[in-house]
Amino acid sequence: MPNPDRNNGRMHQSSSKILRMTDDERPFTRDFKDLFSTLITSLPLTPHRVRFSRVEETFLSEEAITNLGSLKFSQSNRIPDPKNPSRWVVTTTTTTFSMAKEMARSVCQRFVDARLIESAENKSITTFNTKGGVWQLTPKGLSILSRFCSRNGINARHIEPLLKRNHMHMVALERDSLTDKIHQDRATVEIIFRRFMGSDGPNLKSSVSLSDSDSISDYATGLIGVKMAKERRVLDKIVPYTFTGKAASDWLLDCTTTIDRRETYEMAELFVKWGLIQPVIEDRAYTRQHPMSTYFQPTKHAVYTVTERGQRVCGWIARPPSVESEDSRDVKEKGRMTRDSNVGRLNVILQDAALRLLFREFLRQSLCEENLGFYLDVTEFISAYRQLDESGRLSKPDVVRETLAGAYGLYNSFLASGAPSELNIDHSLRNRLDSRMIRTNPDDEAMRESLDEVIELFELAQAAVFKLMASDSVPKFLRDPKNATVFRDHEIDLISGTNRTLSPAPEGLVSRSNTRS
């Protein structure tokens, strides 16, 4: 809980963050990315000599392991006191991570496996050595760091040169908040597939470059598609648009928010299962070692091609008038929403994983992604609050403090005056939020009352952001010609705001901030 110093107008809140693990022993993606970004902001990132050259903005293995032993990052906002404009109040939230040395080494290895960092000495090194290794960020790691710093208002001078070089446009995959599993409905997979094939058409390479290149920087922007050969001779046939299983897995790991190779295999398997790509050369050695793998082989010896349906989905060839949309064949119809307003259309978008993904990318390009980010984060936070309330756990002061810690994190990111992702909300509502958030009382009963008031104000802010997205962003989103194919395939009536393939909304949303005061 914040402890205000009334003499200097400072309020500080400290919390500890737990690295949550999934059922298959993989860190939750958001926690993992936060840990990675917190580590990078704590490192000096200085030049190091590698062989006969000097590599800028690098760090040593020992530095990473030492810093992971005790990590901190802070969010601060300086706002005027609504009751006394001549007085300023600084609210600061500090989050702390800590772990043992062996766990730190294991986490660093996961950073390598997730393609967030790479060896500055030899690109082929994939083992995180504990001594003497020199490491640098990949384009993916830089993109994750950039978004973290923007979200939390971190302006560390030593990483500014790095952030200016960020040109990566990663695909932010939708995940279940309870299990962290990627949404794998057909429509979402096909939107990912369009990016996999390339925003500007096929990424054609010679067959030599396909087999020889293994650079993490092959997809530095995330906008070009998987490396493929225009033609490849297979026995007595010439097969167009081919690529290896390894190239497919590499693209999915480098250009999306996946942090585990197994997730890339699952996604590529769906590409095969739903007729977007098909195998043309089998890796028999892989088949012998993995007899249960029936759809996808992630090796450089397995070769795939884009099917005719895959080319239609990504817009390379026109869809015949007689061909109906195949996107919803295995999706149960959950009901119809007919609304003749943008409010109805926004409800359709928010309840459909595929459309949320597309809408998020549109908002990012329009420089207002913070609106959707806040809306979804507050939905998770309020859902967690209600679950705690229904279970009776909010009768415990520690749980109330922990929940308030999450509220202050959201406030400092989105709602405080001058927040790094400050939202465009009504001035009077912002004043009410500021007044509530700078008041505190250590009494247990007063803390619970404060939390209830915060929830009410967050709901008002969420409603204001929803209204803004519906009135401003949705019409522009629906008019964007780049999305026309998706809307048609998704069977959306832009006039009525009806989606006949409506996917269920995410359930059981839980706050990502695991904190203790």
Q: Which residues pair with 73 in a beta bridge?
A: 95
Determine the number of helices (DSSP H) and then strands (DSSP E) in the chain: 19, 15
Burial of 23 (C-beta count, 10 Å sphere; 0-12/13-18/19+): exposed
Q: Which residues pair with 203 in a beta bridge?
A: 227
Q: Looking up tokens 């895959």, which residue turns up?
A: 310
Distance CA 242, CA 239 (A): 7
Which helix (DSSP H) or strand (DSSP E) does residue 101 occupy? Answer: helix 101-113
Is 70 exceeded by the pLDDT of residue 188?
Answer: yes
| 334 against 367, higher pLDDT | 367
* Interval 154-164 mean pLDDT: 79
Is 60 exceeded by the pLDDT of residue 20?
Answer: yes
| 217 against 350, higher pLDDT | 350
Burial state string for 372-403 with b = 16 or more CB within 10 A and e = fewer than 16 = bbbbbbbbbbbbbbeebbeeeebeebebbbbb
| 481 against 246, higher pLDDT | 246
Cα three-residue angle 236-238-239, rounded to 5 degrees: 125
pLDDT score recorded for residue 321: 56
Helical H segments across 281-426, by residue range: 284-289, 308-313, 342-350, 353-365, 369-391, 397-410
Record the pTM: 0.76
Is 70 exceeded by the pLDDT of residue 515?
Answer: no
- Please check whether residue 517 is in contact with residue 14, taking contact to mean a CB–CB distance below 8 angstroms: yes
Is 80 exceeded by the pLDDT of residue 3?
Answer: no
> Mind listing the pLDDT tens digit for each residue in 195-225?
999 877 888 876 544 544 445 557 888 888 9
Which helix (DSSP H) or strand (DSSP E) does residue 261 occupy? Answer: helix 261-273
Q: Domains of the chain by range and CATH?
A: 3-163 (1.10.10.10), 186-313 (1.10.10.10), 342-499 (1.10.167.10)
Q: Looking up tokens 């980010």, which residue turns up?
A: 373
> Mind listing the pLDDT tens digit for each residue in 400-443?
877 887 888 888 889 887 777 889 888 889 888 888 887 765 56
Which helix (DSSP H) or strand (DSSP E) does residue 211 occupy? Answer: helix 207-212
pLDDT score recorded for residue 512: 34
> Mind listing the pLDDT tens digit for each residue in 368-395?
889 999 999 999 899 989 999 999 888 8
Is 90 exceeded by the pLDDT of residue 252?
Answer: yes
Q: What is the per-residue DSSP string for 44-84?
A: --EEEEETTEEEEEEEEHHHHHHHHTSEEEEEEEEEEETTE
Largest Cα span, the chain? 84
Q: Which DSSP letter does residue 21 get? A: B
**Three-state secondary structure string covering 393-461:** HHHCHHHHHHHHHHHHHHHHHHHCCCCCCCCCCCHHHHHHHHHHHCCCCCCHHHHHHHHHHHHHHHHHH
Distance CA 86, CA 91 (A): 16
Mean pLDDT across the chain: 80
- Lowest-confidence segment of 19-33, 300-314, 428-442 by average pLDDT: 428-442
Q: Looking up tokens 């007595």, which residue turns up?
A: 236
How much of the chain exceeds pLDDT 90, in percent? Answer: 34
